[in-house]
Amino acid sequence: MRVLSTFLFGAALLGGCASSLQSTDDFLGVITPYRIDIVQGNVVTKEQLALLKPGMSRNQVRDVLGSPLVTDSFHAERWDYIFTIRRPGTESQRRSVVVRFEGEGMKSVEAPELPSEHDFVASISRPSNAKAPRLELSDEERKALPPPPKRETPAAEPTGAVREYPPLEAS
């Protein structure tokens, strides 16, 4: 009986630890598990959407937007371009663009307010806490540098043993 009660107490104690690990997402405030970025689908921007014109063929639409994420054989007149990104520490993004066709020509596009390419890149770029290093010296710093040492002129002929190798191909 005593062994059973000890086992049950230990299981309850470990169960409590597991629930606290899930809520704080770290272990004792020291170890944080790595979370990967999940990016799925096609990015569609304002610039791409502006290139679409009614009557474009399916191949022309594919050239502009890429292959659709969802094509349904029951709805052959509809292409879905869906984009999602989930990144730890940021809000998830999801956009859905629907392109409708009539025969072989594009009829219409249904899309939410899409970001420009610049805005999209800015929204997915990781913020950098480190200050970017300066990669070039100023004119004053260049003048303060010591002059480079004078080099001896190299010998015209190589010194040491010179080997002759046989030709790679027979003459």
Q: Is residue 87 part of a domain?
A: yes
Cα 38 to the chain's mean position, in Å?
9
Examine residue 105 and state whether it is found in any structural domain, yes or no.
yes
Closest CA to 110 of 123, 122, 100: 100
Q: Let me know if residue 141 belongs to a domain.
A: no
> Is 69 among the domain residues?
yes
Is there a contact between 51 and 3 (Cβ–Cβ < 8 Å)?
Answer: no
The answer to the question of residue 144 being in a domain is: no
| Residue 18, domain member (yes or no) | no
Q: Which of 1-5, 55-59, 67-71, 121-125 has the lowest mean pLDDT?
A: 1-5
DSSP-derived 3-state class of residue 41 = strand
Q: Which residues form the domain of 60? A: 37-124
Number of domains in the chain: 1
Q: In this structure, what CATH number is given to the domain that contains residue 56?
A: 3.30.1450
**Span 100-115, mean pLDDT?**
91
pLDDT tens digits for 46-90? 999 999 999 999 999 999 999 998 888 888 899 999 999 888 777
